[in-house]
Amino acid sequence: MMHRRTFLKSMALAAAAGPRLAAQANLPWGSPVLDTHLHLRRDADACFTHIQGCGVTRAVLLTPARDESRAIEEMARRPGVFARSVSADPAAADGDQLIREALKAGAVSIGELKFHLALDSPEMRRVYDIAAEMQVPVMMHIQNFPHFAGELPYNTGYPQFDKIIRAYPRTNFIGHGDLFWAHISADVPTDRGYPSGPIKPGGLSDRWLSDFPNLYADTSANSGNNALSRDPDFARGFVKRHQSKLIFGSDCSCLDGKGGGISQNNNPEASRLAGKCVARETLTLLQGLASPEVFRQIAWENGMKLFKIPA
């Protein structure tokens, strides 16, 4: 029989060892991690390989409506690990219907929407209404500078997006992509997608994250990683300021969660992440910018809450 004092002492020791044991075992980042931006892969189980390889706990599989059954199968194979989104072209005749049906069948978000439409177009407005009605967030890929010759811009009209955010107070928007993150700075060059160097305070994305409770930011891809690493002093303040609005996502396409294969679709502008796992890179970056409490918010709590994922 264990004496009470010995018992209390061993409890205290276990509590003290807790975080370290957790770090060594199944929480390599010291906190659970939700990847809110993991594209469903052709071999769906490759998503599980990826999250295991980079120490991610759960993930939202970004799922085009036509691939829904594959996502559902993968979710069933790995209970408690995955949730799924839905995306469909809002300009297609059945776009709205596909989105609505998938949400009714359990999709937790709309996205990513990466189509050649204006942010204030009637097609996108219909999606914002569905997001409000179904109380799910909607994520847009906002990009104007091409990754390859002839690539057209996605979700245009970002400098006027505040009018939309204001007009749809019941819709939770998640900003993502090159131009969204370029606007972390008040000066945005037009000759490249991923500006480098010091950030000029007063950028639209920074201001709007403060001004609007219904705007969130997804840290994924080279765009998020680049924006948060180009000016560490600025980034520390940005992360603190928007600690309840930043949501971890990777958008990584590496094979093993360790940088194998191709991580950013061979986009030459994103070569700084070649051979690296974007999830690992951005989680490491966030650990350097945030306190452990804020890291946990960004890596886990904010996303679980916004996507309403059952714990």
Site string for Zn ion, 226-265 (x = CB under 5 A): --------------------------x-x-----------
Q: Is residue 277 near Zn ion by the rule CB under 5 A? A: yes
| Segment interacting with Zn ion (CB under 5 A) among 77-85, 94-102, 269-277, 300-308 | 269-277
Nearest approach in angstroms of CB 167 to Zn ion is: 24
Q: Is residue 276 near Zn ion by the rule CB under 5 A? A: no
Per-position DSSP letters for the chain, written without gaps between them = ---HHHHHHHHHHHHHHHHHHHHHTT-TTSS--EEEEEEPPSSTHHHHHHHHHHT--EEEEE-BGGGHHHHHHHHHHSTTTEEEEEB--TTSTTHHHHHHHHHHTT--EEEEE--S-BTTSHHHHHHHHHHHHHT--EEEE-B-S-SSTTPPPBSB-GGGHHHHHHH-TTPPEEEESHHHHHTTSS---SS-SS--SPPPS--HHHHHHHH-TTEEEE--HHHHHHHHHS-HHHHHHHHHHTTTTEE-------SSSSS-S-SSTT-GGGGGGTTS-HHHHHHHHHHHHS-HHHHHIIIIIHHHHHTT---
In terms of CB distance, is 226 or 234 closer to Zn ion?
Answer: 226
In terms of CB distance, is 59 or 294 closer to Zn ion?
Answer: 59
Q: Is residue 100 near Zn ion by the rule CB under 5 A? A: no
Nearest approach in angstroms of CB 169 to Zn ion is: 25
Nearest approach in angstroms of CB 281 to Zn ion is: 9
Q: Is residue 41 near Zn ion by the rule CB under 5 A? A: no
In terms of CB distance, is 261 or 288 closer to Zn ion?
Answer: 261
In terms of CB distance, is 51 or 108 closer to Zn ion?
Answer: 51
Q: Is residue 141 near Zn ion by the rule CB under 5 A? A: yes
Q: Is residue 102 near Zn ion by the rule CB under 5 A? A: no
Residues at the interface with Zn ion (CB under 5 A): 112, 141, 252, 254, 277, 279
